[in-house]
Amino acid sequence: MNVLIIGAGAVGLGIGASLYDVGWKLDIVDRKETREAIEEKGIVRRGLFREIIIPAGRVNVFEKLENIQGDIQAGNMYDYVLICTKTTISSQIAEDLAKHKNILKEEGKIVIFQNGYGTDETFLKYFTKDQIYSARIITAFCRPELNISEVKGHAAPILIGSLYGRSSEYVKPLAQAISDGGIPSEITDDIQKALWAKMLYNCTLNPLGAILDVKYGKLTENKYSLYIMDKVIDEIFEVMTAAGYRTYWEDTESYKKEFYSELIPSTCDHRSSTLQDIERKIKTEIETLTNVIVKMGRTMNIPVPFNDMTYNLIKTMESYY
């Protein structure tokens, strides 16, 4: 199988290491600094799962999609293109990918490995529902160096499926390869439920962890942050249910029980991606996370004051850059 990963951040490198380890041909697209780091030092995945080291020179890294055309003309098209960038540049990535559609095989699939909800809509402007699949990740990745992905925690397997009822069999080889490469991964025919489960997890932990500058586990250590998280969860559940969506838990109490007893403990040492973005003084993904809840609440006249407050606090922090 041939796979192209667009975005060699912590997630892209971690998943790419799995695919390379099981013998897939791996190419990457990312900025100059990342390309140079990988070409000089190779790729390393370390942490919770088995360590994988890809020596320098084994993976092609391109700065632009147009640089791939030589390989494409030689017939080396991709079975899968994985979108592992920040959602803040999704529009740019989708437009550029649309200009180079010939990199995908006829039955090739685009798989979105991004935070947030509604991330598929940007790609639907250029590609069909048959071509687009989504992935849910609740694995805590970080990137201590440009060529290193470190797995700090893992709450549940990666899930891959279609939001539009297309067969998950098309992405079964991808899920199997990621699993065989050390990161548990499965296909699902109900990715919608999985994405809402991730929204509950991310919208509760990401912004609050960033605002308070603490790891996830610290948020459970006092009644004040617990109160805020409870209220955020309640609001998300109300909006989700009113919009006609469902997830794996029937009510907030059953979700909170698993959230506090299993999900947070398994990722307790993780520092949120929102916090890492703020420290690097780059735009966060809050628009495709908490602001989705805020907008949906406003549309349906459902008050979401706790989500609204955390959204505006993150935007205030961004404004200080």
Instruction: Return the pLDDT at 46.
Output: 97
User: What mean pLDDT is predicted for residues 183-210?
Assistant: 96
Query: Which CATH number is correct for 194-319, 3.40.190.290, 1.10.1040.10, 3.10.129.10, 3.30.530.20?
Result: 1.10.1040.10
Give me the torsion for CA of 14, 15, 20, 24, rounded to 10°.
Answer: -170
User: What mean pLDDT is predicted for residues 192-202?
Assistant: 95
User: What mean pLDDT is predicted for residues 50-65?
Assistant: 95
Residue 69 has pLDDT above 80, yes or no: no
Q: How confident is the model at residue 74 (pLDDT cuts 50, 70, 90)?
A: low
CB atoms inside a 10 Å sphere around CB 300: 12
Instruction: Return the pLDDT at 241.
Output: 96
Q: Per-residue pLDDT tens for 27-55?
A: 999 999 999 999 999 999 999 999 999 99
Q: How confident is the model at residue 184 (pLDDT cuts 50, 70, 90)?
A: very high
Rounded Cα–Cα distance for residues 213 and 219 (Å): 10
Q: How confident is the model at residue 73 (pLDDT cuts 50, 70, 90)?
A: low
Helix (H) or strand (E) holding 20: helix 10-21
Domain map (residue ranges) of the chain: 2-189, 194-319
**Whole-number Cα distances in Å, 157 to 135, 154, 176, 218, 300:** 10, 8, 11, 24, 33
Instruction: Return the pLDDT at 193.
Output: 96
Instruction: Return the pLDDT at 68.
Output: 87
Q: Per-residue pLDDT tens for 237-250?
A: 999 999 999 999 99
Q: Determine the 3-state secondary structure of 225 from DSSP.
A: helix
Rounded Cα–Cα distance for residues 145 and 163 (Å): 34
Q: Are 138 and 156 in contact (CB under 8 A)?
A: yes
Give the range among 17-26, 33-42, 78-87, 151-160 with minimum mean pLDDT.
151-160
Give the range among 1-5, 73-77, 161-165 with minimum mean pLDDT.
73-77
Q: Determine the 3-state secondary structure of 64 from DSSP.
A: coil
**SS3 letters across 185-213:** EEECCCHHHHHHHHHHHHHHHHHHHHHHC
Name 319's Cβ contacts closer than 8 Å, sequence gap at least 6.
Answer: none
Instruction: Return the pLDDT at 153.
Output: 87
Q: How confident is the model at residue 298 (pLDDT cuts 50, 70, 90)?
A: very high
Buried b (16+ CB within 10 A) or exposed e, 169-181: ebbeebbebbbeb
Average pLDDT, the chain: 95
Q: Are 103 and 65 in contact (CB under 8 A)?
A: yes
Tokens coding 233: 């969860």
**Is 2-189 assigned to CATH 3.40.50.720?**
yes
Q: How confident is the model at residue 155 (pLDDT cuts 50, 70, 90)?
A: confident
Instruction: Return the pLDDT at 72.
Output: 62
